[in-house]
């Protein structure tokens, strides 16, 4: 079969067209980039609105100045709860307001600089829906974020943080947690209750407002004009945080969980929980009026201020649990840094010691399960019951290179030694000294290990916190 020959001029013309087409495509792709002012979904041509605030274009890390606190208070409880806020509020650093139900009386004037500026809520009784509300008082609390937004002074605000006046914040940890998220997007950051029944009665996907929750600026900007519509839609709801959660859900925004935010729907002694805190930065503690003082032999306010001494030295490490072992005595040691330390006369796996001892009670009785986390029951078994120590002091040493925290025994354990592991009693130990590196900050969620130094007959145990070695386990 003879080959077919093509006209050379035709071939050259075809090459010319191909090259010209590619050139036009290249020019269009790289040099012609028209602005997109419409949604790409042609079936729903929604106009995109951009904020005119510079806060959404700033790319440097979130810091304390970017957070605006919206605290909820009442004059009836202000005298009792003011010290809670003073324990963590930083004048000239923290920003925001405390919203009250009525103007301050002469007893509280002049208003102190050690707490957030006072602000009166807008009168919600004028709303048409007000007579229909199942719990009208909650409308004031629910609308406080709207009142804060309307006050202005929102320059460089990235986050609005809601909480009650009986909540303490660990501000450095709050900044660290919120810095993980893109404030230009819609975020609702908080934590559900520790009690199953609380979540059952309200929602398992709701951030509890007492423990506190954070809303990104862009979300508040969208939510604020819709809040009164939410009241119209949900007049039967009894709590402000349930209103907020439902309204945000209608906007397509779900809860982002942070385990260091604590509602504390518990009663009594919560030391068991704080001694086995989750491996997350502690951000808030709530409901101080319903729990025992955090430290023995101190009242509530003294206990809070005592805990804050450790927070001022190394807040990311505060109440982070570290577990290690002393083989010659078969002891397990658990340290909740800046709060407590336990010695067990037995080698107990970390997986067990990370479960809080149930020193507390639920705020409301109900069928099991009671708590949203696993617990260990208190016991008089000398091989399972800890010797309990609480922080006595914290200070920097060796040119501020190390931090020394000292933990003093709460009380004699009054149990026989654990015979199963060799009768190595820890009854004589009166103090535990814990050394940590002051120049290395603890990364969120990281797990540390430690080394125990103890000589028989001594009444002090020394512990050095350190990084875990590769493959290090309890054996």
Query: What CATH number should be reported for the domain holding residue 421?
Result: 2.70.130
Q: Are residues 230 and 371 in the same domain?
A: no
Q: Which residues lie across from 388 on neighbouring strands?
A: 342
CB 341 within 8 A of CB 271: no
Range 222-228, long-range pairs (CB < 8 A, 24+ positions): 222/186, 222/251, 223/145, 223/247, 223/248, 223/251, 224/145, 224/146, 224/149, 224/150, 226/251, 227/142, 227/143, 227/145, 227/146, 228/127, 228/129, 228/143
Residue 11 counted as domain residue: no
Same domain (yes/no): 243, 331: no
d(CA 128, CA 229): 11
On whether both 346 and 223 belong to a single domain, the answer is no
Task: Determine contact, residues 435/403, Cβ cutoff 8 Å.
Answer: yes
pLDDT tens digits for range 141-195: 999 999 999 998 999 999 999 999 999 999 999 999 999 999 999 999 999 999 9
pTM: 0.86
Q: Does one domain contain both 217 and 343?
A: no
- CA dihedral for 100, 102, 107, 112, sign (positive or negative): positive
Would residue 249 count as lying in a domain? yes
Domain membership of residue 6 (yes or no) is no
**Where among 231, 262, 293 does a domain terminate?**
262
Residues 196 and 329 both lie in one domain: no
Termini Cα distance of the chain: 83
The predicted pLDDT at position 40 comes to 32
pLDDT tens-digit readout, 76-111: 999 999 999 999 999 999 999 999 999 999 999 999
Check whether residue 248 and residue 354 sit in a common domain.
Answer: no
How high is the pLDDT of residue 364?
Answer: 87
- Alpha carbons 210 and 240: distance in angstroms, whole number: 10
What's the whole-number mean pLDDT along residues 112-139? Answer: 94
Q: Is residue 30 in some structural domain?
A: no
How large a percentage of the chain has pLDDT more than 90?
79
Residue 391: name the closest of 467, 331, 317, 452 by CA: 317
Q: Taking a C-beta distance cutoff of 8 angstroms, is the pair 55, 217 a contact?
A: yes
**CA-wise closest residue to 70 among 219, 214, 186:** 214
Q: Distance between CA atoms of 112 and 374, rounded to whole angstroms?
A: 43
| Domain end call among 225, 245, 262 | 262
Same domain? For 168 and 231 the reply is yes
321-326 and 331-336: which strand pairing? antiparallel
Please check the confidence at residue 245 and state whether its pLDDT lies above 60: yes
Q: Where are the alpha helices (DSSP H) in 406-459?
A: none
255 and 323 inside one domain: no
The first and second tokens of residue 300, run together, are: 């509530």
Q: What pLDDT shows up at residue 146?
A: 95
In the three-class reduction of DSSP (H, G, I as helix; E, B as strand; rest coil), residue 124 is classed as: helix
Is residue 330 assigned to a domain?
A: yes
Q: Is residue 218 scored above 50 in pLDDT?
A: yes
419 is a domain residue: yes
- Of the candidates 399, 435, 469, 431, the one whose C-alpha atom is nearest the C-alpha of residue 314 is 435
Q: How far is CA 216 from CA 54, 189, 225, 439, in A?
A: 15, 9, 15, 32
Q: How far apart are CA 391 and CA 339, in angstroms?
A: 5
SS3 assignment, position 315: helix
Residue 7: helix, strand or coil by DSSP? Answer: coil
Does residue 434 belong to any structural domain of this protein? yes
What is the domain range of residue 221?
A: 54-262
Residues 400 and 334 in one domain: yes
Distances (CA, A) of 246 to 130, 149, 202, 228: 18, 20, 10, 13
For the ranges 190-194, 336-340, 368-372, 468-472, the lowest mean pLDDT is seen at 468-472
**What pLDDT score does 47 carry?**
32
> Over the stretch 328-347, which tens digit does the pLDDT of each residue have?
999 999 999 999 999 999 99
What's the pLDDT at 421? 84
What is the rounded distance in angstroms from the CA atom of residue 153 to the CA atom of residue 151? 6
Q: What is the DSSP-derived secondary structure letter of residue 469? A: P
The CATH number given to whatever domain includes residue 165 is 3.90.550.50
Structure token pair of residue 48 = 């995109």
Contact 316, 173 (CB under 8 A): yes
**322 shares its domain with 253:** no
The whole-angstrom separation of Cα 129 and Cα 114 is 37
Q: Are residues 134 and 201 in the same domain?
A: yes
Q: Is residue 100 part of a domain?
A: yes
DSSP 131: G
Q: Which residues of 73-99 are buried (b: 16+ CB within 10 A; e: fewer)?
A: bbeeebeebbbbbbbbbeeeebbbbbb
pLDDT per residue as tens digits for the range 203-214:
999 999 999 999
Give residue 422's region: left, alpha or beta (phi > 0; psi -120 to 50): left
Residue at a domain's end among 199, 229, 262: 262
Please tell me whether the peptide bond between 401 and the residue prior to it is cis, using omega within 30 degrees of 0.
no
Burial zone of 248 (CB within 10 Å; 0-12 exposed, 13-18 middle, 19+ buried): buried
The answer to whether the Cα torsion of 251, 256, 261, 263 is positive or negative is positive
The per-residue pLDDT of the chain, averaged, comes to 88
With 70 as the cut, is the pLDDT of residue 55 above it?
A: no
- Please count the structural domains in the chain: 2
Same domain, 236 and 321: no
């Amino acid at each position: 079969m003879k080959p077919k020959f093509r006209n050379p001029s035709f071939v050259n013309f075809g090459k010319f067209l191909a090259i010209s087409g590619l050139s036009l495509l290249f020019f269009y792709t790289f040099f012609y980039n028209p602005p997109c002012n419409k949604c790409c979904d042609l079936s729903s041509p929604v106009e995109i609105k951009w904020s005119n605030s510079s806060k959404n274009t700033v790319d440097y890390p979130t810091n304390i100045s970017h957070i605006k606190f919206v605290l909820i208070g009442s004059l009836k409880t202000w005298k009792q709860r003011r010290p809670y806020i003073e324990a963590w509020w930083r004048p000239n650093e923290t920003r925001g307001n405390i919203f009250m139900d009525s103007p301050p009386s002469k007893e509280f004037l002049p208003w102190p600089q050690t707490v957030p500026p006072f602000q009166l809520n807008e009168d919600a009784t004028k709303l048409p829906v007000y007579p229909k509300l199942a719990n009208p008082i909650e409308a004031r609390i629910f609308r406080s974020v709207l009142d804060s937004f309307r006050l202005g002074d929102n320059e460089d605000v990235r986050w609005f943080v809601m909480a009650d006046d009986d909540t303490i914040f660990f501000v450095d940890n709050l900044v660290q947690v919120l810095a993980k998220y893109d404030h230009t997007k819609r975020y609702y950051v908080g934590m559900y209750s520790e009690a199953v029944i609380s979540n059952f009665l309200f929602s398992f996907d709701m951030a509890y407002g007492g423990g506190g929750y954070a809303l990104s600026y862009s979300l508040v900007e969208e939510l604020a004009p819709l809040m009164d519509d939410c009241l119209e839609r949900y007049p039967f709801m009894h709590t402000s945080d349930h209103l907020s959660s439902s309204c945000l859900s209608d906007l397509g925004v779900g809860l982002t969980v942070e385990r260091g935010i604590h509602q504390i729907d518990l009663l009594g002694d919560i030391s068991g929980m704080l001694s086995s805190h989750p491996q997350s930065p502690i951000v808030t503690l709530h409901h101080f009026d319903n729990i025992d003082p955090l430290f023995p032999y101190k009242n509530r306010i003294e206990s809070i201020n005592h805990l804050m001494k450790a927070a001022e030295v190394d807040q990311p490490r505060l109440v982070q649990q570290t577990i290690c072992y002393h083989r010659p005595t078969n002891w397990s040691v658990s340290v909740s840094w800046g709060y407590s330390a336990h010695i067990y006369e037995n080698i107990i796996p970390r997986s067990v010691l990370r479960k809080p001892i149930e020193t507390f009670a639920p705020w409301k009785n109900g069928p099991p399960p009671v708590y949203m986390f696993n617990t260990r029951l208190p016991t008089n078994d000398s091989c399972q019951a800890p010797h309990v120590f609480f922080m006595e002091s914290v200070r920097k040493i060796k040119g501020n290179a190390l931090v020394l925290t000292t933990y003093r025994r709460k009380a004699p354990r009054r149990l026989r030694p654990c015979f199963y592991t060799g009768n190595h009693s820890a009854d004589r130990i009166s103090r535990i000294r814990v050394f940590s590196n002051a120049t290395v900050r603890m990364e969120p969620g990281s797990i540390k290990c430690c080394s125990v130094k103890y000589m028989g007959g001594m009444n002090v145990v020394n512990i050095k916190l350190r990084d875990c070695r590769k493959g290090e386990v309890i054996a």
